[in-house]
Amino acid sequence: MIHKHSATLHGHRTSFSLEDEFWCELKAIAKERGMSLASLITEVDDERGGLGNLSSSLRLYVLRYLKGTSPVIGSDMANEPPPSAKAHARNATG
């Protein structure tokens, strides 16, 4: 089910809609990375550079993270998975 969520990004309140599954994964990723959920959402928002909408950017971030590819939009290391995603992929296969 899709739910509307709110966050404060750089002092401005914004809202976005995400399916529960994406919301749960975002929380897990933030925990794994040792950061607050608000910080992770701000990071994704900053990286998208005004392209697309925040909801889509968050979904793509989760997808790329779980696939083990760089979740950073526009990253020069687009084919290099982050270390935590490599570990996640190893755990899933073995």
CATH number at residue 38: 1.10.3990.20
Structural domain span for residue 13: 2-93
Measure the CA–CA gap between 85 and 91, rounded to whole angstroms: 10
pLDDT tier, 86 (very low <50, low <70, confident <90, very high otherwise): low
Q: How many domains does the chain have?
A: 1
Name the pTM for this structure.
0.72
3-state secondary structure 45-86: HHHHCCCCCHHHHHHHHHHHHHHCCCCCCCCCCCCCCCHHHH
Measure the CA–CA gap between 23 and 61, rounded to whole angstroms: 11
Q: What pLDDT, in 10s, does the model give residues 65-78?
A: 999 886 666 554 34
